[in-house]
Structure 1
Amino acid sequence: MAAEQDNTFDITIIGGGMVGASLALLLSSLKLDWRIRVVEAVATPSSGVPAQPSFDARSTALSHSTREIFELLGLWDQLQQGVAAINEVHVSDRGHIGTTRLSAQEQKLPALGYVVENRHLGAALMAAVQQTPDIDWLAPARVTAVQARREGVELTVSLDDQDATESFASRLLVVADGAQSHTRELLGIGASSKDYGQMAIVANISLAQDHNGVAYERFTDLGPMAMLPLQPIEGEHRAALIWTLPPERAEAMLQADDETFLEELQQRFGFRLGHFQRVGSRQAYPIKLVTSDEQVRHHVVVTGNAAHSLHPVAGQGFNLALRDLAVLAEVLGDAAARGESLGDLHVLQRYLNQQQADQQKTILLSDLLPKVFGLDSSPVALARNLGLLALDAVPLLRHQFARLGMGLETRGTPRLNGIKGAANG
């Protein structure tokens, strides 16, 4: 029996990226003596090696609700050393007069959001995981089979560095291995995909002047673009560019030399950040809305990009995922207090019911914005510019719109009682 117990986990998370690691820490923070295993395909980086600053580092926008969750986990003090605060958001429609500005000062908050380099966030999460004894981190390893059992699931994984396999049981399986989830496919869970017919170019841009913590969201006839503030490196001001374009135009911009790229970008964006100095390495990916056909079934939860991968226009993907995780952890903690099984469908359905409104509103926002601003007809252009002007003129409208972007208006739970109690205990 002891050997069987050692080979059974309470919760197994497939995918050890930012979503999977965050969930493991949220679950551990409840201090319910759960055995938590994370299965990650990529080898664990050497501990104690600091994440070196890089001009080209990719980044993620963090909403205010995400800051609140990381504060509850005791991670924010470390994270904020490497984040750039968003003090103001400037929204504009190229070629039209409509603009609006959202400010942290008006919302009486330290910042509307933050931009963090992925390597810095990943290093902070990994350091916390490595200091948490009830999280078993298995990497590099890939799931090769999943079988449903009466009390959970049985998983078989291949251990990439040993040319061996291992089988174990889990009372609850959480799928968090990305939009093209292999585990979701193994479970026979389909996914719906909406192709926006655009590519997103991501790159870091060197600026002639300080961004002063202003994030820019600019809608153009070819697609939206965002410029997000980054921390400077060696005195060089930087912004993270996300530029959505039709595929053929995106390919041309990828192939263009740096001077041509910056000239085109400057023409489309304008001079609110002064003259662009240089562009770092450019990458591009197709933009699709991917939603899992199922998010919960007996002993299984699908989350993160495996559940919903969004258009990047509003920067809501990771923030929605983290709100999902916080609600999931809270519901599982409540279930344990009631003596319910972690994998019972009615427990997992409670999580989905609680978070469904947040998911639907956030997906709708991310889907609707590029659609509305992509229409060229004069009546639509007039209506959306009147909307932007109204936002700029009416404080109450700005307040509600800002709360929506910060993840404070849509989140399924305002309290996170179980996590907060564990963090304070």
Structure 2
Amino acid sequence: MAAATGTGRKHGEGLQGGRGLPPARRVVIGGGGLAGLTLALSLAKGSAGGLDVTVFDPALAQPAPGGDASRASAIAAGVRRMFEALGVWSAVADRAEPILDMVITDSRLADPVRPSILNFSGEVTPGEPFAHMVENDDLINALAAACRQAGVTLVAEAVMGFSAGPDRVSVTTASGEEIEAGLLVAADGARSRLRDMADIGWIGRSYGQVGIVATIGHERPHGGRAIEHFLPSGPFAILPLATREGRHRSSIVWTERTADADYLLQLPAEDLHEELERRFGLELGEITLLSPARGFPLSIGIARRFVAERFALVGDAAHLVHPIAGQGINIGLRDVAVLAEKIIDACRLGRDVADEEALLAYERARRFDTVTMGIATDGLNRLFSNDFLPGRLVRDLGFGLVERMPAVKRFFIREAAGLVGAVPRLMRGEAL
């Protein structure tokens, strides 16, 4: 991936000054993951060249590796529509696997049979699945290529500091470059350094759980089915991936208590395979670990504010939720869709790229949604990550009732697809 680098130039004379745009039409994004690159592309395309957009991230020095070692995400239908509107989806469509139905079970690890308590199937519109599984690195590479084509500057270094004033924000990079812009957006993840620099507080706690992710090969095709086994230690999700090099593949998200996860991740390959097989089951035949199993501590959290003077947070820098519903990346990209829409609309009215009214409207639009999702996923994790018999009876009864109510199931499918409530234009598949 080509990287622009700084040489100690000041006040936008290097990276930004060549296009002659004033600071009020410049946006700097710290973080080149899915959220940062999608925001950059949305702003560049939505402004038709009227904004100068730069993304800083040391990881931009090389293309994402891709392949079986990469993490994968469940991309909801609304996010897929956004990628279509941005011209990105066609670059990953042949490697995306539609989720055609989802089966939920509730059992103990030793149970010989895991009966289904709830089954979601169907489409949000004819021929449109409610989600696709896509490997993150494939998406990042496609987004980076589209950003370069749209005129976004990608810089393989970090933002080291910034100072916000009434009419501009001065951003300092690792190479000593100073760039004057209208807005700085932090998309640098849950441990956001930029959020800390902006003196925005964080409310959160650890779950005492670790999410173990890996790519699994199996003998038989999955048929586009996702399975979530609710086990006492946490959910074990099997998510369908596209066949690659003749291999049937799935991604797993395996939640365990921290001490147990540390033990499992240190097991010899044969013993780890045995533990995987106990949870994965034999429905798809013999399984093979195609990538290293990696663990990520799980927590919940939300920033006290999403915006400050000439500053905004998106994605994990703004909020974290439990992966039990697979919605973390989707709510982060919804942040992007809303923020891009507010910025572009303000610019079309001749306002500043960091128009205070637009930033506050973004915060209002996103805070309720993220708090609601956080509460929902936290409640599901508390409800299912235990073996308390009365609790099991209550939750299985509740899911059994939902299973018998088609209208409720359709609502949940549309909710999972990101198509409920005030859906931003990009997630309706409309250009900004």
Settle same-fold status: TM greater than 0.5.
yes
Conserved? CA contact 2:12–2:178, under 8 Å: no
Distance 1:382 1:106, change over 3 A: farther
Paired position in structure 2 for 1:111:
129
Q: CA deviation at 1:108?
A: 3.8
Distance 1:2 1:211 in 2: 52
2:404 is matched with 393
**1:228 is matched with which residue?**
239
Query: What SS is found at the alignment partner of 1:169?
Result: strand
Q: Which residue of 2 aligns with 1:18?
A: 34
Q: Could you say which residue in structure 2 is the equivalent of 1:99? A: 117
Give the aligned partner of residue 37 of structure 1.
54
2:379 corresponds to 1:368 = yes
How many angstroms does 1:61 deviate by?
Answer: 1.6
Shift of 1:154: 0.9
RMSD of Structure 2 on Structure 1 (CA):
2.4
| Distance (Å, rounded) in 1 between the aligned partners of 2:270 and 2:352 | 60
- Structure 1-normalised TM-score? 0.90
- Cα deviation 1:333-381 (Å, max 9, x = unaligned): 2212233322232221111212333222222222221111124333221
Contact conserved, 2:105 with 2:228, CA < 8 A, in 1? yes
Aligned to 2:82: 69
CA contact (8 A) 1:97 1:385 kept: no
Give the direction of change, closer, same or farther, for the CA distance of 1:175–1:272 in structure 2 (3 Å limit): same
Aligned residues: 410
The equivalent of 2:7 in structure 1 is none
Stretches of 4+ aligned residues off by more than 6 angstroms:
none
Match of 1:322 among 325, 333, 336: 333
- Check if 1:84 corresponds to 2:97: yes
After the TM superposition, which residues 193-208 of structure 1 pair with which residues of structure 2 at under 5 Å, given as runs? 193-208=204-219
Check whether the contact 1:107–1:399 (CA below 8 A) recurs between aligned residues: no
1:76 to partner: Cα distance: 1.4
Pairing 1:234-313 to 2, within 5 Å after superposition:
234-278=245-289, 280-313=291-324
What is residue 165 of structure 2 aligned with on the other side? Answer: 149
* Distance in 2 between residues matched to 1:71 and 1:18, nearest whole Å: 15
Between the aligned residues of both structures, percent identity stands at 31
> Secondary structure of the residue that 1:284 maps to in structure 2?
strand
Alpha-carbon contact 1:334-1:418 (below 8 Å) kept: no
Query: In the aligned structure 2, how far is the partner of 1:417 from the partner of 1:373?
Result: 31
- Contact 1:203 1:283 survives alignment (8 Å): yes
Deviation per residue, 1:249-279 (Å, 9 max, x gap): 1122112223322322232343333332445
Query: Quick check: 1:98–1:388 contact (8 Å CA) kept in 2?
Result: no
Partner of 2:5: none
1:162 alignment partner in structure 2: none
Cross-structure match for 1:136: 153
Deviation at 1:171, TM superposition (A): 0.8
Asked whether the 8 Å contact 1:98–1:386 carries over to 2, the reply is no
Structure-2 residue corresponding to 1:354: 365
The answer to whether residue 190 in structure 2 is matched with residue 179 in structure 1 is yes
State the shift of 1:17 in Å: 1.4
Paired residues of 1:202 and 1:284 also in contact (CA < 8 A): yes
Q: Deviations over 1:110-156 (max 9, x none)?
A: 322111112211111111011112x22222x2222211211121111
**Structure 1: runs of 5 or more not aligned:** 160-164
Q: Structure 2: any 5+ residue segments left out of the alignment?
A: 1-10, 109-113
Give, as a single letter, the amino acid of the residue that structure 2 aligns with 1:14. G
Summarize the Cα distance change of 1:99–1:272 in structure 2 as closer, same or farther, 3 Å threshold: farther
Q: Distance in 2 between matches of 1:187 and 1:93?
A: 43
